[in-house]
Structure 1
């Protein structure tokens, strides 16, 4: 009887916790923005995010932290961790019934957003309560309503926009390749001077998707439909042929690959390879300024197939203990002031998802007049080359197939 009573108690406790979570979420939905800011005052918000870029880290530590403290009396703790590990941590806490979580704010990517949403790990919808989002963003934009093919449903707020670019040493490469075929020719004519990060790295995965776009019989079929393993198998046959043909011409003859973008950047900075790559068309500017990348660094995008771009977001875990503080932080991070500082080459240099047409004349002029630096490709070229992302389920599928079809060959 005592055992049954104990089990019943645990069941009721679980129901009570769920009810409390639901009530807490509804309670926040019923609050005015002024009331949310009152609750946020004095809170500490733990921001979990990828920490592999020094310029991004400096933006958070040197600009965001003091400004957020001054404006809202919210303390921001930046905790570096890969997004996949962040989601694993949330899943572990949910299984343990941990309502007082350790994460308050997440820099999210599309692949992991899908997983977090499907497992009910996120708080929201909340974006309809964020003043900066409602005032300065095109809330009807499909870029904000979908993340790697998954509907956002107000569970994440757009933080930045990036496009995939290649950086190269113009003292060694007179004319950068414009197509995948020309990239292959470059690798053949300059053995050991090109490589890409292994699948599983965010940048390496993106490079492989570019090859998929370039070799597929129909990009539209990939973009317009949910993930299909049958389509993936058919459309990827030429991908593995292309990458295997390239392998013997890569750095170390393809016997090993950089494990991360950081490692690829190091190889480039040391002159072992003549190109690097990555999301964020402006990321090389600060690296050149600091003497990490050579002064002769320039940038290009492939005209065929083009340049994949995406919007990245901020989400709040369902078990965050500082939801109001996280909302205040998001409102600040989406503000014109914080977005303009993020655009500065001295920090992140990343493009903004703000709709400039919604800004007043002074703020709009500040964005339009900012010099992003000599290594940044002009906006028209980026726009002309832009490719949207495919369904997030292609990412883990391509990772596994790359290991089978390329790395293990």
Structure 2
């Protein structure tokens, strides 16, 4: 028995020493790249292959990567770019298995990630970094003080991923029916009371309906930073949500069908709006109305507004796996994806229509003019307005908490 204990202790010690050695190797690699000149990183990336693992379910996004990005990084840097379709949870599962097998060289160089997937990747040390300070275009064009860049669904980024694009929550309305759209939640309440039956929101089990509640939760707490600093805390949520529940119950009798039922999802709310039963809809994409207007589903008089208390923004990011075989190439490509040319092309609806993560105030006058020249549609708010009012997402567990408590606090309240 004693011999077994000694052997067991030696194995534990060996595991700890190996882990420390691996940690030391990672630190050495990070420090080594941080000390390199950027031009040397680009030179080392020349002639290499960079594989980006990403969701592949959108034709426009795939065309942007294959037809626009790939030929340009090859021409500019001599890099062969390969897009590998794979959903993020599968990517993380692959990385976890490689980490367990101590596979120090994998085949992923860049992954497209955010939210709960980033939280899991960070906690399990599946991603390389910090590296954001190394990239010139991050320093030149990105507002690193912005909360939606510092936090990813309530998890501190800490230089482990680079913002690539974003969408923002916005309301859409028929300007022939709504002459002066509200700018605050108080004004929205007054409009709802004065126009009974013409407003509602989706059941919070729907992502957009839940986002509507989260915005109201921000208002109830009074300070988004307080939520971010607290993290997920049920007691905190209970203590700071009373104003939200009171608001929802005050407007409830004036909602569509007197708040006795709610659209199951955003699709149903959009249908009510398109048929003129309600005068407003909403969604987690500031440009979402354009495709519906073009197809004749939404009236041409559709416009958008956001509230001055803030508009939740969902930022998505790029990260480098811990065992990327080509970190220099990965950083070179990511840096390229943050050039104004790449970001503004991505913004164009010809490919994607995804909003830029670049700070409009950091663009040159020529770059700003190019941004303003992009016609996203008459219903889309200006980039500077969106930037001014954007708020970060908070811890993902609040989504479930709000959905469950809404039933008790609103639906079952008479």
* TM-score of the aligned structures, taking structure 1 as reference length: 0.74
Equivalent-residue separation in structure 2 for 1:50 and 1:400 (angstroms): 31
Cα offset, 1:233, TM superposition: 0.8
Q: Aligned pair in 2 of structure 1 residues 362, 8: CA closer, same or farther (>3 Å)?
A: same
1:286 and 1:347 in contact (8 A); partners too: no
1:40 and 1:328 in contact (8 A); partners too: no
Cα offset, 1:89, TM superposition: 5.5
Cα offset, 1:121, TM superposition: 2.6
1:282 and 1:345 in contact (8 A); partners too: no
Over residues 284-319 of structure 1, what are the superposed CA-to-partner deviations in whole Å (9 max), with x where a residue is unaligned?
335544x27535262323436442336543222223
**1:189 and 2:189 correspond:** no
Q: Aligned pair in 2 of structure 1 residues 58, 360: CA closer, same or farther (>3 Å)?
A: same
Equivalent-residue separation in structure 2 for 1:371 and 1:387 (angstroms): 21
**Of 366-375 and 219-228, the range deviating more from structure 2:** 219-228
**Of 219-228 and 263-272, the range deviating more from structure 2:** 263-272
Q: Which residue of 2 aligns with 1:337?
A: 341
* TM-score of the aligned structures, taking structure 2 as reference length: 0.74
Q: Aligned pair in 2 of structure 1 residues 254, 62: CA closer, same or farther (>3 Å)?
A: farther
1:195 and 1:250 in contact (8 A); partners too: no
Cα offset, 1:187, TM superposition: 9.3
Q: Which residue of 1 aligns with 2:375?
A: 371
Mapping of residues 36-75 of structure 1, within 5 Å? 36-37=41-42, 38-39=44-45, 41-49=47-55, 51=57, 55-72=60-77, 73-75=79-81
Q: Which residue of 2 aligns with 1:127?
A: 132
Equivalent-residue separation in structure 2 for 1:185 and 1:69 (angstroms): 58
Q: 2:302 aligns with which of 298, 303, 315?
A: 298
Mapping of residues 225-236 of structure 1, within 5 Å? 225-227=229-231, 228-236=233-241
Over residues 219-265 of structure 1, what are the superposed CA-to-partner deviations in whole Å (9 max), with x where a residue is unaligned?
4674574234322112224545665775994799757733xx6x569
1:163 and 1:308 in contact (8 A); partners too: yes
SS in structure 1 of the partner of residue 169 of structure 2: strand
Q: Aligned pair in 2 of structure 1 residues 320, 28: CA closer, same or farther (>3 Å)?
A: same
Cα offset, 1:400, TM superposition: 3.4
Q: Aligned pair in 2 of structure 1 residues 101, 403: CA closer, same or farther (>3 Å)?
A: farther
1:167 and 1:276 in contact (8 A); partners too: yes
Over residues 2-40 of structure 1, what are the superposed CA-to-partner deviations in whole Å (9 max), with x where a residue is unaligned?
995995898376666555544444444444434433336
SS in structure 1 of the partner of residue 65 of structure 2: helix
Equivalent-residue separation in structure 2 for 1:246 and 1:92 (angstroms): 50
Cα offset, 1:165, TM superposition: 0.8
Number of residue-to-residue matches in the alignment = 396
**1:257 and 2:264 correspond:** yes
Equivalent-residue separation in structure 2 for 1:249 and 1:402 (angstroms): 20
Gaps of 5+ in 2: none
Q: Which residue of 1 aligns with 2:217?
A: 212
1:136 and 1:355 in contact (8 A); partners too: yes
Q: Aligned pair in 2 of structure 1 residues 176, 331: CA closer, same or farther (>3 Å)?
A: same
Larger radius of gyration: 2
1:46 and 1:78 in contact (8 A); partners too: yes
Q: 1:318 aligns with which of 317, 322, 329?
A: 322
Q: Which residue of 2 aligns with 1:160?
A: 165
Mapping of residues 135-174 of structure 1, within 5 Å? 135-139=140-144, 144-147=149-152, 150-168=155-173
Equivalent-residue separation in structure 2 for 1:276 and 1:30 (angstroms): 51
Equivalent-residue separation in structure 2 for 1:316 and 1:243 (angstroms): 43
Cα offset, 1:375, TM superposition: 1.4
